[in-house]
C-alpha cells in the first residue's frame, strides 16, 4: 500500500530570532535551596512561536489509496501478523547487505528538520508554570534515589551500549538472544546498517541544536548534593556539559526502538515498553528529568516517521524488515508468531501498554485544557504502515487519534491548534484491533 510522500518543503519553521542576543540569561526569581540552582530562563527562549506551523516535515496530502476489503466491514486484528513481503527471498545464512548506492544516495528524509518548535512547550512551562519544573526535579530525585540495584545496572548498560542491541531483551527471553546472536554473527547486515548507534542510516538528527536553544541545566548540576551517582567505576557519564532538554540518549532509544517495533510489529508493545525503560534509565541516573525524556521520545519518533513516510527510503526499511523476519524465523526453527507466543515475554501486552502509557506523562498534572481534539501529525500515520497495512493514511491517522492521551499535559501543544507528538500513544496504536466499516469509518475493538 502506498504511504504519503515526504515533502519537507511544506514545513514552515517558527521564528527563532532572539529578542536581545547580547543579554545574559535572566534567572527565574525565587529563593533557592542550599546548593540547588534553578536553571535559567534565557531571553533566547522568548521567541515568537508560530504554533500553527507544521513542526516537522509534513506529508503531501493524499486521499485513500485503496478501499477497505470486504463488502460490509473489515476487521484488522492481530496487528503485524500478515506475511512479510520479500522474506522468502532472503538468504538467511549469508544475507546480502545494502549496496553502496543505496546507502550513499540522498533521500528526501535526509533533510534536516528544526525540532525546536515541536519541543517549544518547554518554554511555556518556564514562563507560565515554574511549579511543573519544580515537580520535574522532585520526580527526578525520587526516581534516582528509589532505583533498585538492577535498575541502576541496566541504566549503565544502556548509557554506554548500543541500545539497538541492549534492548534486544524486549523481544523476549529466547528471541532476544537469537536476535543478538544474529547481530554478533553479522547475519543482519541491512537491519544493523539502518539501526546501529554509530552511523545508522536511519538515525535521527542530533539533539544538540535543541539543547543549545533551551539551555537547561541537568539535574545533577542543579542539585549536586541531592542525587545518588549511578555510574560505573571509572565512568564518565557525569562529565557531560550539554544541556538537559531534550534527552539525546532518549532520542536515540526511541528512534532505534521505534524502528525496531515497526520492523517487528507483532512485538511492538514489548519493544516500545523496553524503549520507554531506556528513557527512564536517564532519570535513574539523574542525567535527565522526565520532561527531557518525553521530549526525546517526541523527537525520536518523529524522525522515524519521516523515514517511513519517504517513499524512496522506505524501500530500505522494507528490505531490512524482510531480512530480520527471515533470519529470526530461520533461527527459531519454525513459525515466528508461534515461537513468540511460546517465548517468555519481556512483559505481557497489557502490562507493556500500561507501562508505556504511564511514561507518556510521568504522572504530571495537566496544565492546559483537557478534551481538546487531537490534531495528529500527518507524517505520524506512516508509523502504522507495518502494523496496519490494510488501512489508508487517513484511517491510520484516525487510529492515532483514537488511541492518543488527553490534551493539556506538559509539552502538549494542542491548545495552540498545533499537531501534538506528545499525545501519541504509539504502543496502543500499533497493537490496536481496528474495525473498518463499509463507509471507511474506523473504530477500535
Q: Rounded mean pLDDT of 119-140? A: 98
Check which CATH number belongs to the domain holding 381 and give it. Answer: 1.20.144.10
Q: Please tell me the predicted confidence (pLDDT) of residue 75.
A: 57
pLDDT tens digits along 8-22: 333 323 333 322 223
Q: Is residue 23 part of a domain?
A: no
Predicted pLDDT at 60:
35
Q: 95 or 70: whose pLDDT is higher?
A: 95
- Does residue 175 register a pLDDT over 50? yes
Closest Cα to residue 421, out of 386, 375, 383, 368? 375
Mean pLDDT of 146-158: 98
Q: Does residue 133 register a pLDDT over 50? A: yes
Question: Would residue 35 count as lying in a domain?
Answer: no
| Percent of the chain residues topping a pLDDT of 90 | 79
> What pLDDT shows up at residue 201?
98
Q: How many CA atoms lie within 13 A of 65 on its CB side?
A: 14
HSE-up (13 A, CA, CB side) for residue 251: 22
Q: What is the mean pLDDT of residues 353-368?
A: 98
- pLDDT tens per residue across span 181-196: 999 999 999 999 999 9
Model confidence at 353: pLDDT above 50: yes
pLDDT of residue 417: 78
Residue 130, Cβ density class (10 Å: 0-12 exposed, 13-18 middle, ≥19 buried): middle
**What phi-psi label fits residue 47: left (phi over 0), alpha (psi between -120 and 50 degrees) or beta?**
beta
Q: Which helix (H) or strand (E) holds 152?
A: helix 149-160
End-to-end CA distance of the chain: 23
40 belongs to a structural domain: no
Residue 393 lies in a domain: yes
368: cell is 492546559
> Does 24 fall in a domain?
no
Q: How far apart are CA 277 and CA 67, in angstroms?
A: 38
- DSSP assignment of 87-144 equals GGG--SSSPPPPPHHHHHS--GGGS----TTTTTHHHHHHHH-HHHHHHHHHHHHHHH
DSSP conformation class of 26? B
Would you call 99 exposed, middle or buried from its count of C-beta atoms within 10 A (0-12, 13-18, 19+)? Answer: exposed
27 located within any domain? no
Closest CA to 78 of 272, 349, 330: 349
Mean pLDDT, the chain, whole residue set: 87
| Percent of the chain's residues with pLDDT above 70 | 82
What's residue 368's pLDDT?
96
pLDDT band at 111 (very low <50, low <70, confident <90, very high): very high
Domain total in the chain: 1
Nearest to 340 by CA among 268, 267, 270: 267
**CA–CA separation, 125 and 106 (whole Å):** 38
pLDDT (tens digit per residue) in 276-325: 999 999 999 999 999 999 999 999 999 999 999 999 999 999 999 999 99
**pLDDT score of 78:** 57
pLDDT score for 445: 86
Domain-located, residue 1: no
Work out the average pLDDT over 204-217: 96
Residue 204's pLDDT band, with cuts at 50, 70 and 90, is confident
| Confidence band for 257, pLDDT divided at 50, 70 and 90 | very high
Closest CA to 355 of 286, 431, 266, 304: 431
Question: What is the value of pTM for the model shown?
Answer: 0.86
Question: What is the pLDDT at residue 79?
Answer: 74
Q: Which domain covers residue 247, as residue numbers?
A: 6-17+46-444
Q: Residue 80: which pLDDT band, with cuts at 50, 70 and 90?
A: low
Q: Does residue 31 lie within any of the structural domains?
A: no
Amino acid at each position: 500500500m502506498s504511504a504519503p510522500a515526504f515533502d519537507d518543503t511544506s514545513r514552515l519553521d517558527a521564528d527563532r530570532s532572539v529578542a536581545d542576543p547580547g543579554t545574559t540569561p535572566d534567572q527565574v526569581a525565587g529563593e533557592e535551596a542550599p546548593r540547588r540552582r534553578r536553571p535559567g530562563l534565557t531571553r533566547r527562549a522568548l521567541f515568537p512561536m508560530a504554533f500553527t506551523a507544521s513542526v516537522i516535515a509534513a506529508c503531501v496530502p493524499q486521499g485513500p489509496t485503496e478501499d477497505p476489503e470486504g463488502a460490509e466491514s473489515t476487521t484488522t486484528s492481530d496487528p503485524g501478523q500478515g506475511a512479510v513481503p520479500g522474506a522468502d527471498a532472503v538468504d538467511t545464512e549469508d544475507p546480502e547487505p545494502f549496496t553502496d548506492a543505496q546507502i550513499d544516495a540522498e533521500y528526501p528524509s535526509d533533510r534536516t528538520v528544526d525540532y525546536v518548535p515541536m519541543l517549544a512547550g518547554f518554554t511555556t512551562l518556564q514562563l507560565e508554570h515554574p511549579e511543573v519544573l519544580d515537580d520535574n526535579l522532585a520526580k527526578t530525585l525520587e526516581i534516582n534515589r528509589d532505583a533498585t540495584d538492577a535498575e541502576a545496572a541496566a541504566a549503565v548498560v544502556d548509557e554506554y551500549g548500543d541500545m539497538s542491541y541492549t534492548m534486544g531483551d524486549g523481544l523476549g527471553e529466547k528471541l532476544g538472544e537469537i536476535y543478538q546472536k544474529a547481530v554478533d554473527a553479522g547475519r543482519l547486515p541491512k537491519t544493523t546498517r539502518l539501526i546501529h548507534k554509530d552511523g545508522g542510516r536511519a538515525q535521527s538528527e542530533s539533539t544538540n541544536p535543541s539543547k543549545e536553544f533551551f539551555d537547561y541545566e541537568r539535574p545533577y548540576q542543579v542539585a549536586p548534593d541531592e542525587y545518588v551517582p549511578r555510574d560505573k567505576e571509572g565512568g564518565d557519564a557525569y562529565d557531560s556539559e550539554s544541556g538537559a532538554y531534550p534527552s539525546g540518549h532518549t532520542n536515540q532509544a526511541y528512534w532505534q526502538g521505534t524502528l525496531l517495533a515497526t520492523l517487528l510489529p507483532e512485538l511492538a508493545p514489548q519493544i516500545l515498553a523496553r524503549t520507554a525503560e531506556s528513557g527512564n534509565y536517564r532519570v535513574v541516573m539523574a542525567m535527565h528529568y522526565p520532561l527531557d525524556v518525553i521530549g526525546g521520545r517526541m523527537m525520536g519518533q518523529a524522525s522515524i516517521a519521516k523515514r517511513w513516510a519517504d517513499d524512496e527510503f522506505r524501500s530500505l526499511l522494507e528490505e531490512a524488515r524482510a531480512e530480520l523476519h527471515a533470519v529470526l524465523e530461520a533461527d527459531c526453527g519454525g513459525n515466528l508468531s508461534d515461537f513468540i507466543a511460546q517465548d517468555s515475554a519481556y512483559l505481557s501486552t497489557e502490562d507493556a501498554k500500561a507501562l508505556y502509557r504511564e511514561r507518556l506523562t510521568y504522572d504530571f498534572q495537566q496544565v492546559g485544557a483537557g478534551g481538546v481534539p487531537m490534531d495528529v501529525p500527518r507524517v505520524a500515520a506512516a508509523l502504522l504502515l507495518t502494523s496496519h497495512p490494510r488501512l489508508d493514511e487517513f484511517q491510520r491517522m484516525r487510529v492515532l487519534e483514537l488511541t492518543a492521551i488527553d490534551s493539556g499535559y506538559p509539552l502538549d501543544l494542542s491548545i495552540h491548534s498545533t499537531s501534538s507528538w506528545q499525545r501519541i500513544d504509539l504502543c496502543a496504536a500499533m497493537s490496536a484491533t481496528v474495525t473498518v466499516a463499509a463507509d471507511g469509518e474506523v473504530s477500535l475493538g
